[in-house]
Amino acid sequence: MMPNERGALPTDVYLSSVSSLYEHRRTLVIGMLSHVVTFLLVFLKTSDPFYLICAATIVVVWALRNLDMTRFDRQDFSDADNAMVRKWENRYIVGGVSVTLTCGIACGYAIVISQDSFAELACISVTLASMISLVGRNYGSERAVLLLSSSACLPIVIGLLTLRDPYMLVLAVLILPFILTTWTMANNVRAFLYENVLAAREISTIAGQFDAALNNMTHGLFMLDGDHRIVVANERACELLGLGDKAVLKERLLSEVLEQAADRMALGTENKETIARQLDLLIEGKHSRALISTSQDRFLEFSANRRENGEIVLTFEDVTARVQAEKKILQMVRFDTLTGLPSRDYFAELAHHAMAANGGHGRNIGFLLIDVAEFKHVNDTRGHVVGDKLLQAVAERLKSLTGDDAIAARLMGDEFVVFFPNRADASDLEQRIRAVHAGLRGVYVAGGFTFNMTMSAGFVIVPSGDFRFEDLQIKADLALSETKARNKGGCTAFESEMDARYLDRQKLKSDLREALNANGLSLSYQPMFTPDGSRIECCEALARWTHPERGPVPPNVFIQLAEEMGLVTHITRYVLRQACRDCTNWPSDMSVSVNLSVLDLRGDEIVSMVTEALKETGLDPARLHLEVTESCLMDEPAKVQGILSDLHERGITIAIDDFGTGYSSLSYLDTLPAGIIKIDRSFVRNIREDARRFKLLRGTVNLARALGLKTVVEGVETADQLQLINEFNCADLIQGFVFAAPMPASAIDALCKQGARKRTTKSSSQRIA
């Protein structure tokens, strides 16, 4: 290694090479003794005092070097730099050169001055013999080897040259390669050792880094040899398995270590065997991962990687948090968060599992669908928090009623479902279903309120061989619809006729969609007359649908279908455009009235629809009335109020239809921008015979007029009803069969012209009279 390379060495490596110079001090003693004895023998042979001086010099230099080495031992090298280390290298070289130079001078003196064969042989032999140990002792310093070998050999060369003997000259020249060889050998030894020191140092650093990384892993790790003995283990592995010091695991069989871990974790025999089986399959490569439960609330996941040399790297981690999170997510997916009952999808899965587990032919299964009657009213009057508590109470009662022989779930909202698998007798199963329904009805306490709830239910019973989950749900739903329509709060069994009606209804929905796409609807108008019947002020637009096969379909049927299909807005858009267009052909003092559905007011399109219809037809906004029922105002009153206020500001008149049939009629009169109320026909029926009903009619009309509202009385059918209403001035407008039934737009036009002629004739007669 060249000097510049040495200077580039790290200080600790340079220090180690210099330290090697100060070691093996016994060889210095041996060398000192051999030199002193040799010089004394030469003195005895030649009687020349020069050799006594050489012997004394060797002893003094040895003493000084020994003292210097003692100082080196006491020197603190913790903060040493290369300059400090070099200083101690130089001190060593000075001492060594003093010895070798003394020996070399003695050799030259013997050759030139003494010319005694013994003196020459003895001095040169002991000097060159010292050169043999020079490489082994001083390889750590390049300069030391070069200077020591040169100081010892060059005086011999000079001595041989002074003899001027050709043979001695050749011998002198041959000594020079000896110096070079010694220097080269020392360099090779030093370079080899330096490389190994640096490599060892790097390996030690890498090993330390690897050990730090290994022991700071979040995963536990075992490296196994071909016999499944542990070669490497990290601290995390010991921590996860409770194994203590990792050093004691080396060379132990994995099975023994796992047995020890299982004993510390107090696992049962069955658990131990299960874990052993799972890990065997993993190590054999038959499984990619193994999830092992070490206790009820702790899970470890193992994975294995087999190396080409047969070693196996086994890693594992604590996945308890992940497993618990997955369980929580699975619980949220499978179970309704409010009631704790299975969700719709998990209910279907449980039903299929139950059928697969029981699956006996000749037995029966039941499917019960339950709807909490008037639950919406509870939400509206008591709030959603109380409503949720009521649903929880219903769910708890349902769980207790179904027990272990049935599967109960919450479908959505206020609908619950129960599946009864594997019952032998159909009549017994029906009795069981009706018992569950009866048990659900009654008093509930929720949120500090007491409710007497009824339940509408529908059920179906079929042989287990006919189990098709979707079909059962559809049939139970049809039976529930029948209950709601005919026997609210009852429990109805599915009958085949319901299926036929369902199919017929689906066909009617399909036909309605086609009719809407083909503009197959039409409009009729029912006039609103002044109480004396002399003039029409407004006409209510009524959608009509004539089915090509069934004939006229009642509006209450196809409007309900349209709402179920989400197509009611299409009908509203058609009615608005056509009604505005027809109204432009009527006298300018006539208006047209269009009904809005609850679904129209839930969306965001109604304002733009009305604006587009008016712009397209050119109708004055003041001639358009929009009718809303109180049911439209129940779900989102703030939003509906905002929409109606926007329409009112555009000059459109808002009318409340079927007034008096809702829950909070009077409050709406105060908050809504209404200009007209249409009193429901139920107030008109039997007003001659029912004085109380007539008083309600008169009171409502008086209240409306006090608020500045115009009143329209609907459903006036007889002259007697009309007479009584006119007698007490109970209406601003009359709508009913007593004047006219709904009719086409052309008939309204003709009726207006006929009325105009009558008024003209009457006016002329009055002028003649």
Sheet containing strand 289-295, edge to edge, reads 230-233, 220-224, 312-318, 298-306, 289-295
**Cβ-Cβ contacts under 8 Å for 314 (sequence gap 6 or more):** 221, 222, 223, 224, 254, 282, 283, 302, 303, 304
Q: What is the identity of the amino acid at 446?
A: A
Q: How many whole angstroms separate alpha carbon 438 and alpha carbon 457? A: 10
Query: Above 70 in pLDDT, residue 666?
Result: no
Find the helix or strand (DSSP H, E) in which 575 lies: helix 568-583
> Residue 192: its pLDDT value, please?
62
DSSP 554: P
DSSP 368: E
Q: Does domain 514-761 have CATH number 1.10.10.1150?
A: no
Of residues 292 and 475, the one with the higher pLDDT is: 475
**Cβ-Cβ contacts under 8 Å for 307 (sequence gap 6 or more):** 313
Interhelix angle for 555-565 vs 496-517, to 10°?
A: 80
Q: How many whole angstroms separate alpha carbon 532 and alpha carbon 524? A: 23
Residues 378-425 pLDDT 10s: 887 888 898 899 999 999 999 999 888 889 999 888 899 999 987 778
Nearest to 735 by CA among 655, 653, 631: 655
DSSP 336: -
Here the tokens at position 264 are 């510390």
Question: Taking the domains of the chain in order of start, what are their residue ranges?
Answer: 3-207, 220-326, 339-494, 514-761
Nearest to 340 by CA among 408, 249, 402: 408
> Residue 295: its pLDDT value, please?
65
**Cβ-Cβ contacts under 8 Å for 224 (sequence gap 6 or more):** 230, 231, 254, 283, 311, 312, 313, 314
- For residue 331, the Cα-to-chain-centroid distance in whole angstroms is 15
Query: Above 50 in pLDDT, residue 524?
Result: yes
Quick one: the chain helix, strand, coil %, rounded to 5? 60, 20, 20
Q: Give the residue ranges of DSSP H helices in 8-81.
A: 11-21, 25-46, 50-74
Pick the range with the lowest mean pLDDT from 113-117, 377-381, 619-623.
Answer: 377-381
**Cβ-Cβ contacts under 8 Å for 198 (sequence gap 6 or more):** 13
Give the class (CATH, top level) of 339-494.
alpha beta
Backbone angles phi, psi at 151, to 5 degrees: -65, -25
Fold exhibited by the domain 220-326: Beta-Lactamase (3.30.450)
Residues 735-759 pLDDT 10s: 999 999 999 998 998 888 786 666 6
Banded model confidence at residue 2, pLDDT cuts 50, 70, 90: very low
Q: What is the identity of the amino acid at 334?
A: R
Q: How many whole angstroms separate alpha carbon 750 and alpha carbon 586? A: 10
What global pTM score does this model have?
Answer: 0.52
> Residue 622: its pLDDT value, please?
95
Give the 3-state secondary structure of residue 262. helix
Here the tokens at position 10 are 């790290």
> Residue 390: its pLDDT value, please?
92
Query: What average pLDDT does range 567-595 have in this prediction?
Result: 94
Query: What average pLDDT does range 81-108 have in this prediction?
Result: 86
Banded model confidence at residue 625, pLDDT cuts 50, 70, 90: very high
Of residues 146 and 626, the one with the higher pLDDT is: 626
Banded model confidence at residue 3, pLDDT cuts 50, 70, 90: very low
> Residue 6: its pLDDT value, please?
43
Residue that is written with structure tokens 């200083």 in the block = 87
Here the tokens at position 117 are 């064969």
Query: Above 80 in pLDDT, residue 585?
Result: yes
8 Å CB contact between 24 and 65: no
Query: What average pLDDT does range 508-535 have in this prediction?
Result: 92
**Cβ-Cβ contacts under 8 Å for 724 (sequence gap 6 or more):** 687, 688, 694, 730
Query: Above 90 in pLDDT, residue 16?
Result: no
Query: What average pLDDT does range 365-369 have in this prediction?
Result: 92
Q: How many whole angstroms separate alpha carbon 483 and alpha carbon 493? A: 9
Residues 536-576 pLDDT 10s: 999 999 999 999 999 999 998 999 889 888 899 999 999 99
Exposed/middle/buried for residue 638 (C-beta within 10 Å: 0-12, 13-18, 19+)? exposed
Banded model confidence at residue 5, pLDDT cuts 50, 70, 90: very low
**Cβ-Cβ contacts under 8 Å for 20 (sequence gap 6 or more):** 139, 140
Banded model confidence at residue 200, pLDDT cuts 50, 70, 90: low
Q: What own/partner pairs with CB < 8 Å and gap ≥ 24 does 264-268 have?
A: 265/241, 265/294, 265/295, 267/294, 267/295
CB count within 10 Å of CB 350 equals 17
Banded model confidence at residue 120, pLDDT cuts 50, 70, 90: confident
Q: HEC states along 418-475?
A: EEEEEECCHHHHHHHHHHHHHHHCEEEEECCEEEEECEEEEEEEEEHHHCCHHHHHHH
Q: How many whole angstroms separate alpha carbon 485 and alpha carbon 546? A: 25
Of residues 498 and 733, the one with the higher pLDDT is: 733
Of residues 336 and 259, the one with the higher pLDDT is: 336
Here the tokens at position 461 are 């019973």
Q: What is the identity of the amino acid at 644?
A: L
